[in-house]
Structure 1
């Protein structure tokens, strides 16, 4: 099968399309024929050789976390899925190095859920990793309806999902974003705050996706909550504030609830551009340029 691959670390130019063996599912797994996937910042970090931790396998790598596609082979012990079912999910790539930027990928069946009815594969592929990151951030905070939450990086992929899910949960969200993002932030029922302004607070919680850091604890009330964008960025608790870090995990059941919100029109999906496998270097370059509003999607 064809897959995006690289055998050395470096710039986008190390990416190429390679012929690799077709994977076979084991017990509890299914193979998905990939219709679309998404490029993430972590893909760029690993490809450049800047990822700070060891990986479970060595080069060459096929990158890619999210997948939208159709089941085309089922391993022993899998129930509830059939060949031909349209599904979405993601591979926890840092643990598996099983990349979705390929014509086929094998995933645990529990990581998958039926794809949205309302969305084409190029849109559906933008949901799993970032949507689950947003959902799990709010799950960690466990805020009751009516609580206030500040979301930094609110116009990014995860930030937009946090705003939409906050609205669905009855939270009062404030989105910190660039001046051109006011319409998007307000369309999700949040109060817009330009990133040049200092948040006033106090807020019941902060989801810090823009990596502003521990100074934001100053705008969280005593006993509130704070979610950092990754484990190394989690600050020590102060004033009874609960601090957490995002470490997104695959979860087909939780993803199914997000799909229902997509199908009801309450969770918008955004695509910044679609590239073929052969154009993967351009996709990496586009994401590295920054300012992307929506998923950078790869298709076979």
Structure 2
């Protein structure tokens, strides 16, 4: 079968389409025929060696590939021993959250633990569904860390992005939070439609002051998807809560509780999120669909920026249907 891997770190040109043996599911696992795999920023920092430099990924041993891709939607191909709750041919979506494996979701087939997999509602196309696992679970788990009660105020930076957009909808529609979304003017109307009570211009010279003009004293919590760090922390009230989605969070000044969300696959939570998406409560955004063998092109477009939604790779054109 085909898979996109890297044997050395570098730019998009190091992505290779190679033939690998068919993966065989072990106990408690299932094999998925991949119909769609989303392209995420974490894929780029896996490919270029950034994660290895941070000690989160071992350097590839000679001749050993590094798999690329976290998000997958497709159909169950085979079940391993002791796997319950799924059937061959069933539509599913899943998150592959281990970086130390030679096979990622950029592939024809993928084996995952059943606990990482969720049933895919019939109304969700594969390409749209593939944009949900990593970013939806990140937003959901970040909101869990913030642990804000209904009625509390929440700042979401980078709200027009994939994680930010899901966070706005989950916070406003499912958790009863008053959301302040930070984004460029072109995205303000869409974010209000997604549930944001207020929108703060991304170009505001002082984010903290812009937020505090709307919420005197500061918001109860902030979800920093734009990695603004101390600039976003200034918008949070004393003894509030702050969660960053990557990198080192700012210090917990003024008694603020600070966390970084480290994403973990969760089939049960993903089942709930897929149900919300099928009901129209979560917005799935696809920027474009490309064949699997154009993974390097997808990474080039990701690096160029300006996308709204995720690029999605499909092993064959028919898989996008």
TM-score of Structure 1 vs Structure 2, range by shorter chain? over 0.9
Q: Do the aligned partners of 1:56 and 1:97 also contact (CA within 8 Å) in 2?
A: no
Q: C-alpha distance in 2, partners of 1:93/1:273?
A: 26
Show the 5 A alignment for 1:130-145. 130-145=135-150
Matched, 1:186 2:203: no
Kindly state the Cα deviation for residue 33 of structure 1 after the two structures are TM-superposed.
0.4
Show the 5 A alignment for 1:61-80. 61-80=66-85
Instruction: Describe the superposition over 1:183-217 as per-residue Cα deviations: whole angstroms up to 9, x where unpaired.
Output: 22111120221111123331010001111112322
1:176 alignment counterpart:
182
Q: C-alpha distance in 1, partners of 2:178/2:49?
A: 40
1:49 alignment counterpart:
49
Q: Do the aligned partners of 1:116 and 1:262 also contact (CA within 8 Å) in 2?
A: no
TM-score computed with the length of structure 2 as normaliser: 0.90
Kindly state the Cα deviation for residue 172 of structure 1 after the two structures are TM-superposed.
0.6
Kindly state the Cα deviation for residue 242 of structure 1 after the two structures are TM-superposed.
1.1
Kindly state the Cα deviation for residue 95 of structure 1 after the two structures are TM-superposed.
4.2
Q: C-alpha distance in 2, partners of 1:223/1:266?
A: 31
Q: C-alpha distance in 1, partners of 2:102/2:235?
A: 39
Q: Identify the range of structure 1 (156-165 vs 171-180) with the bigger mean alpha-carbon deviation.
A: 171-180
Q: C-alpha distance in 2, partners of 1:47/1:21?
A: 22
Matched, 1:252 2:257: no
Kindly state the Cα deviation for residue 291 of structure 1 after the two structures are TM-superposed.
1.9
Q: Do the aligned partners of 1:126 and 1:295 also contact (CA within 8 Å) in 2?
A: yes
Instruction: Describe the superposition over 1:121-152 as per-residue Cα deviations: whole angstroms up to 9, x where unpaired.
Output: 00000000100000001011111111110000
Matched, 1:17 2:17: yes
TM-score computed with the length of structure 1 as normaliser: 0.96
2:220 alignment counterpart:
204
Q: C-alpha distance in 1, partners of 2:121/2:200?
A: 32
Q: C-alpha distance in 2, partners of 1:8/1:239?
A: 44
2:202 alignment counterpart:
195
Kindly state the Cα deviation for residue 288 of structure 1 after the two structures are TM-superposed.
0.6
2:319 alignment counterpart:
none
Q: How many residues align?
A: 299
1:34 alignment counterpart:
34
Taking only aligned residues, the RMSD between alpha carbons, in angstroms, comes to 1.4
Q: Identify the range of structure 1 (91-100 vs 103-112) with the bigger mean alpha-carbon deviation.
A: 91-100
| Structure 2, gaps ≥5 residues long | 213-217, 316-321
The 3 A distance-change label for structure 1 pair 293 and 77 is same
1:294 alignment counterpart:
309
| Structure 1, gaps ≥5 residues long | none
Q: Do the aligned partners of 1:176 and 1:192 also contact (CA within 8 Å) in 2?
A: yes
Q: Do the aligned partners of 2:166 and 2:282 also contact (CA within 8 Å) in 1?
A: yes
1:218 alignment counterpart:
234
Q: C-alpha distance in 1, partners of 2:107/2:76?
A: 14
Q: C-alpha distance in 2, partners of 1:188/1:151?
A: 13
Instruction: Describe the superposition over 1:56-78 as per-residue Cα deviations: whole angstroms up to 9, x where unpaired.
Output: 57242231101100111111111
Kindly state the Cα deviation for residue 228 of structure 1 after the two structures are TM-superposed.
1.0
